[in-house]
Amino acid sequence: MKIVILNGEPAKGKTTGMNAALDKIEKTLTKAGHEVEQFILRDMDIKYCIGCFGCWVKTPGRCVIKDDAYIPYKPIMNSDLLIYASPVKMKFISSLLKRMMDRMIPLIHPYMSIRDGEMHHTERYDKSPVIGVVLGDATPDDMEFIERYFKRTALNFFTRVGFVLNVDNAVKEVENAVNNI
C-alpha cells in the first residue's frame, strides 16, 4: 500500500512524542512492505491559502502560490492512505496542518452536485486516499471531536476515515489499523 504522512507537529524534537512516533510508524510500515513517504510540514515553505480560487478558475488544478505546498500533491493523489498527524492545540489540529489542508482544494473541482443529500464539490481525480489520523496530547473528548471533523471533511474529498489513533498507542496499533482499512 502507498502511504503518505503529513506531519503537522510544529515543534522539532520530542515535545509531544509525535516526531519520534511518526518516524517509528514510518519504519514499521515500511518493514511491513508498505511504501511510505513522510512530509514534515514545519520544514516546508507552505503559505496560507488566500482564497483567490486561482486553483479552480485560473490555472485549474494548480495553486497559483509558488511555494512547497504542491510537493505532496502527486504522492497524495497516488496513495491509498493519507495520514494526517498533529498534536491537539486549543482543542483542534495545529494551524500548521490546517494550513496544508486549506492548500489542498486544488485537488478537487469547483463544480457542485448533491451527494448524500447535501451539496458538495465534484471530483477532479478518479480516486482519493482513505484518511488516517494520528493525534498527540489528545483527551478522549478531543479524539472523538476531531474524528467528527475528519469524517465531515472526508465527504468533501470523496473518501472516508479509516482510523483515528492517539499517538501514545499509535506505534503499537498502526500496523493493525492499516491492515483493517
Ligand X SMILES: Cc1cc2nc3c(=O)[nH]c(=O)nc-3n(C[C@H](O)[C@H](O)[C@H](O)COP(=O)(O)O)c2cc1C
Residue 50 contact, options other proteins, ligand X, none, Cβ 5-8 Å cut-off depending on partner type:
other proteins
Nearer to other proteins, 59 or 169 (CB): 59
Contact flag: residue 49 with ligand X (CB under 6 A): yes
Per-residue x/- marks for other proteins, 60-99, CB under 8 A?
xxx-------x--xx-xxx----------xxxxxxxx-xx
Give 9-48 as a DSSP string.
Answer: --S-TTTTSHHHHHHHHHHHHHHTT-EEEEEEGGGS--PP
- How far are the Cα atoms of 16, 59, 60, 84, 161 from residue 107, in angstroms, in the given order? 31, 12, 9, 16, 18
DSSP state, residue 129:
P
Minimum CB separation of residue 96 from ligand X in Å reads: 16
Where helices occur in 115-160 by DSSP H, the ranges are 140-156
Minimum CB separation of residue 157 from ligand X in Å reads: 10
Q: What number of chain residues touch ligand X (CB under 6 A)?
A: 5
Looking only at residues 6 through 45 of this chain, which bind other proteins when binding is defined by CB under 8 A?
none
At residue 113, the 3 state secondary structure works out as strand
Minimum CB separation of residue 49 from ligand X in Å reads: 5
Which H/E stretch holds residue 100? helix 95-102
Looking only at residues 91 through 150 of this chain, which bind ligand X when binding is defined by CB under 6 A?
102, 105
CA distance 127 to 158: 8
Looking only at residues 113 through 142 of this chain, which bind other proteins when binding is defined by CB under 8 A?
113-114, 117-120, 124-125
- How far are the Cα atoms of 1, 6, 136, 142, 168 from residue 139, in angstroms, in the given order? 30, 21, 9, 5, 11
Stretch that binds other proteins, among 26-34, 52-60, 158-166, 171-179 (CB under 8 A): 52-60
CB-nearest residue to ligand X? 51
Where along the sequence are the contacts to ligand X (CB under 6 A)? 49, 51, 102, 105, 156
